């Protein structure tokens, strides 16, 4: 069985992942990146918490560029790694995740993005699946605002909760 570290090493970078997308998919990622660059996109409290991360974390992401949730949330994960050098990410395909993770993690299916948060020893410490919890809990009423990039901070907060719980 391949290790999480080997899967991570096999994964591709965010830039490589994005470059495989169709022009409309790449444009969607660029729109999210523009939103993330705005001064009010991520709350000061979230940025403070992000800057306080002292342990190393690896985000093993199963994703596909055609997936709108991946376009949004994998862009946020790239933001995390750009702001906080203790965080890095590698992206594998949904098919590879189904082959390598589904049975091992006893999952019925792989919803993307599926993120296995690994510690510095490449051991799992948490998961992020598809959308931030605030959006999942809010149901369909929040979907238009979520798709418009208005819940980027919620994704950041979900990851911060995982990082902080692992410390």
Point out the residues of the chain with pLDDT beneath 70: none
Q: What residue spans define the domains of the chain?
A: 4-166
Q: What is the pLDDT of residues 38-53, one digit of tens each?
A: 999 999 999 999 999 9
Tokens 């098919």 belong to which residue? 95
In angstroms, the CA 131 to CA 144 distance is 13
Helices 152-166 and 68-83 meet at what angle, rounded to 10? 60
Helix (H) or strand (E) holding 87: strand 87-92
Residue 48's contacts (CB-CB under 8 Å, 6 or more residues apart) are: none
3-state secondary structure 7-74: HHHHCECHHHHHHCCCHHHHHHHHHHHHHHHCCCCCCHHHHHHHHCCCCCEEEEEECCCCCHHHHHHH
pLDDT value, residue 18: 98
The fold of the 4-166 domain, in CATH, is: Glutaredoxin (3.40.30)
pLDDT value, residue 22: 98
pLDDT value, residue 1: 80
Residue 36's contacts (CB-CB under 8 Å, 6 or more residues apart) are: 42, 75, 76, 79, 152
pTM for this one? Answer: 0.96
């Amino acid at each position: 069985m391949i290790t999480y570290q080997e899967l991570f090493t096999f994964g591709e970078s965010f830039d490589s992942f994005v470059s495989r997308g169709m022009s409309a998919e790449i444009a969607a990622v660029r729109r999210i990146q523009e939103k993330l660059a705005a001064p009010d996109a991520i709350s000061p409290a979230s940025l403070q918490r992000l800057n306080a991360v002292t342990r190393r974390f690896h985000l093993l992401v199963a994703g596909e560029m055609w997936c709108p949730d991946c376009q949004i949330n994998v862009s946020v994960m790239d933001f995390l790694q750009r702001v906080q050098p203790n965080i890095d990410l590698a992206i594998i395909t949904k098919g590879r995740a189904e082959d390598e993770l589904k049975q091992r993690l006893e999952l019925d299916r792989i919803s993307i993005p599926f993120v296995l948060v690994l510690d510095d020893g490449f051991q799992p410490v948490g998961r992020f699946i598809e959308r931030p919890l605030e959006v999942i809990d809010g149901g369909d009423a929040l979907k238009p605002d979520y798709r418009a990039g208005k819940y980027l901070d919620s994704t950041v907060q979900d990851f911060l909760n995982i990082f902080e719980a692992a410390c």
